[in-house]
Amino acid sequence: MRVYADNAATTHISDNALAEMIKYYGPEYENASSLHAYGQAAADALADARRRIAACLGCDERGIIFTSGGSEADNQALISAAHLGAKKGKKHLISTAVEHHAILHTLDKLKKEGFEVTLLPVDSKGRVTAGQVEDAIREDTALVSVMFANNEIGTVMPVKEIGAVCREKKVLFHTDAVQAAGHLRINVEEMNIDMLSVSAHKFHGPKGTGLLYAKRGIALESLICGGAQEKGKRAGTENLPAIMGMATALEDACRNLDEYTARVSALRDKVIDALSKIPRSIVNGDRENRLPNNVNMCFEGIEGESLLLMLDMYGIAASSGSACTSGSLDPSHVLLAIGLPHETAHGSLRLTFSEYTTEEEVDYIIDKVPGIVAKLRDMSPVWERMMKEEKANA
């Protein structure tokens, strides 16, 4: 059996999104900047995509610019807000210890430019509070950037409350909503969000496309020099097929959101409850404020990588840490931030589901994981030592 449980890394494209894309790669291939009638039809399609996406996100369509994905949107949001702040002498940025590397590495770059960065610690469930943000805001704070939902442990942040604090203190608020879009209800206006990043391939849209929303009055800095596309905020011919695919995928996800949430969170809870019966296992993240499709657990005494390889032999595609950190021997910064010791953080398993995940697939996972964990522990010197210590302490 083949089970794909790595949807936080990427999702497969939906039939609807693909059909829409083929149309714009094929018969409707024109450039939205061309003045002839065909070009104008492309421009109309682009405007239509912007409207449809804005309706899903509860934002002003005029604030949306299309990017090459979540990473570019995150980069542009942070760099723009930092430079806008610097013009007014504000060179302090606030974010969290559990952000995606698209945020963390951009902050490192800004630090080298002379910005001061405060990374808020998270609690054992991976959350920051609005109170922490309030306490960290200073006279010279240019931006607060807190992710909507964490890509590794699935924890959902109190975005609306953090946004309210930022509004009150008149500090710009950006959220990396890449894991949230299409998976959680988002309303930019109601949630006090000034800037928001989205990526299409996390909700059954195409890879290499995303968007940045910025509230009116925030002068985004273009990261790419060239033409005046996207109101001069993002040069380069718009990737119309991908944008149309993204709009279709997001609309479908938003339309099915209630049904998706109910069905997939039940599968998630079934897996967490079943795998929690494995001795010395830990559920990472928050059981209350959690993405509907995320399971993240640690099994003491084993290596996450070995677990992944064994699961792979049974046809189960999962992940340990994030796709960006796997391949390196360092344990995930997120698992360390929630207070796990290095040794435990190495034994993590992330399973992320989608609307296409079936009960049968989930049962297959529940059937296979305990035996694999037991087998790996049998071969593990770390586990042997733990068992000795347990006996000695008994």
Ligand X SMILES: *Cc1c(COP(=O)(O)O)cnc(C)c1O
Residues in touch with ligand X (CB under 6 A) = 69-71, 74, 100, 102, 147, 151, 176, 178-179, 199, 201-202, 210
The CB-of-244 to ligand X minimum distance in angstroms stands at 17
The CB-of-326 to ligand X minimum distance in angstroms stands at 14
The token duo for 330 is: 């360092």
298 part of the active site: no
The CB-of-329 to ligand X minimum distance in angstroms stands at 22
Closest-CA residue to 137 (of 86, 172, 107, 177) = 172
CB 98 within 8 Å of CB 333: yes
Q: 188 or 310: whose CB is closer to ligand X?
A: 188
The Cα 148–Cα 119 span in angstroms is 16
Which among 56, 166, 225, 324 is annotated as catalytic? Answer: 324
Residue whose CB is nearest to ligand X in the complex, by number = 70
Q: 192 or 322: whose CB is closer to ligand X?
A: 322
Q: 69 or 285: whose CB is closer to ligand X?
A: 69
The Cα 13–Cα 18 span in angstroms is 6
Strand, helix or coil for residue 242: helix
The CB-of-269 to ligand X minimum distance in angstroms stands at 22
The token duo for 319 is: 């992940």
Q: 42 or 49: whose CB is closer to ligand X?
A: 49
The Cα 41–Cα 30 span in angstroms is 8
Q: 96 or 344: whose CB is closer to ligand X?
A: 96
Q: 322 or 380: whose CB is closer to ligand X?
A: 322
394 burial via Cβ count (<10 Å: 0-12, 13-18, 19+) = exposed
Which amino acid makes up residue 26?
A: G
- 3-state SS of 343-384 is HHHCCEEEEECCCCCCHHHHHHHHHHHHHHHHHHHHCCHHHH
CB 233 within 8 Å of CB 222: yes
The Cα 326–Cα 324 span in angstroms is 6
The Cα 82–Cα 26 span in angstroms is 41
The CB-of-136 to ligand X minimum distance in angstroms stands at 21
Residue 131: other Cβ atoms inside 10 A: 12
The Cα 167–Cα 357 span in angstroms is 39
The CB-of-8 to ligand X minimum distance in angstroms stands at 6
Helix (H) or strand (E) holding 316: strand 316-317
Which amino acid makes up residue 380?
A: S
Catalytic annotation, residues: 324
